Structure 1
Amino acid sequence: MRTNMDFSPFYRSSVGFDRIFDLLERTAVPQNGDNGPHYDIVKLGEDSYRIVIAVPGYSDDELTITHEPNMLVINGARPENEDVQYLHRALALGPFVRRFELADHVNVNGAKLENGLLTIDLTKEIPEEMKPRRIAIDAAPTAEPSKQIEGNVAA
């Protein structure tokens, strides 16, 4: 069971994590059921992922994939056939929208539709300037012998 959590103490003591707290607040709200198609998220390697969505009966021109900042949106829309009278309708072939939150620097490599499965390949590519790098430590210069300041010398 999910409960509502107050993240305001974290907002006061952190900088730049607003997106994470917004995501946690959205996921803490119970959803009214799953209205989109079923899907799998697979980790293929350290930085590569795959999303597989079951979209039986959809063709590639009835599906739209949009990569927005930190969001992947899949829309499906099929035209309704008014001439057909259903006695029982259990196939979920109506319009749908499925959203996936993406981490920073996750890119969509491509998508394919085969046998009713929409496969989307993703990779996380961290820019070179953001990767951890080793910082060289300069050796401290050797101290010169201290010089004595001449003062009044008693003769």
Structure 2
Amino acid sequence: MATIDLTPLYRSTIGFDRMASILDAAMRADTSTGYPPYNIEALEENRYQISVAVAGFEEKELELEVERGVLTVRGRKADEEGKQYLHKGIAFRSFERKFNLADYVQVEGANLKNGLLVVELRKVIPEQMKARRIPIGESGLRTIEAGEANQDRQAAA
């Protein structure tokens, strides 16, 4: 397994502490069987869609869960007692798929149609995280300094 040195990245970034653990988890998690197949699509700038091929599964046999930035899709297939197959080429086995979600990515909903489970995602950036212009020369420090100067003058009087 290859290792990645993130030292140059940490020299010029702030607040990306989770990145190393996400990369490490992604490299370890890539040992899955590939079942069921899925697509991840970017629909617009802040909208995404995951399509998971779940042919043969019903809604009640599927479960979606989001916990600590990880979307988990599970399929639990009920036992098919009494069926006798001459050939069984369709996999109806249980599965679990995990997707690491970036900060501020929320699951909007899910739909099952034509054997595809489609999960809609949207990146909702909080207002305080959006880009804003900072005027030069108008800082809160001047207000504090002016207040302190007034207190100093009052104390001296």
Q: TM-score with structure 1 length normalisation?
A: 0.77
Q: CA RMSD in A?
A: 2.4
Partner of 1:47: 46
**TM-superposition CA deviations, 1:16-69 (whole Å, max 9, x none):** 433210121223348434243100111000000000110001111110011112
Mapped contact 1:66–1:74 kept (Cα < 8 A): yes
In 2: Cα distance, 1:65 partner to 1:30 partner? 18
Partner of 2:129: 130
Partner of 1:120: 119
In 2: Cα distance, 1:111 partner to 1:138 partner? 49
SS of the residue corresponding to residue 44 of structure 1 reads strand
Partner of 2:60: 61
**TM-superposition CA deviations, 1:54-98 (whole Å, max 9, x none):** 000111111001111211100100111121233433322111001
Partner of 1:81: 80
Mapped contact 1:50–1:122 kept (Cα < 8 A): yes
Partner of 1:18: 17
Partner of 1:105: 104
SS of the residue corresponding to residue 23 of structure 1 reads helix
Mapped contact 1:4–1:29 kept (Cα < 8 A): no
Q: Larger Rg: 1 or 2? A: 1
Deviates more, 1:25-34 or 1:66-75: 25-34
In 1: Cα distance, 2:47 partner to 2:10 partner? 34
In 1: Cα distance, 2:120 partner to 2:89 partner? 30
Q: Which runs of 5+ in 2 are unaligned?
A: 139-157
Structure 1 residue ranges, 4+ long, deviating more than 4 angstroms after superposition: 9-15
Q: TM-score with structure 2 length normalisation?
A: 0.76
Residues 74 and 131 (structure 1), Cα distance of their counterparts in 2 relative to 1, 3 Å cut? same
In 1: Cα distance, 2:29 partner to 2:64 partner? 26
Instruction: For 1:58, give the aligned amino acid.
Output: F
Mapped contact 1:39–1:53 kept (Cα < 8 A): yes
Residues 36 and 17 (structure 1), Cα distance of their counterparts in 2 relative to 1, 3 Å cut? same
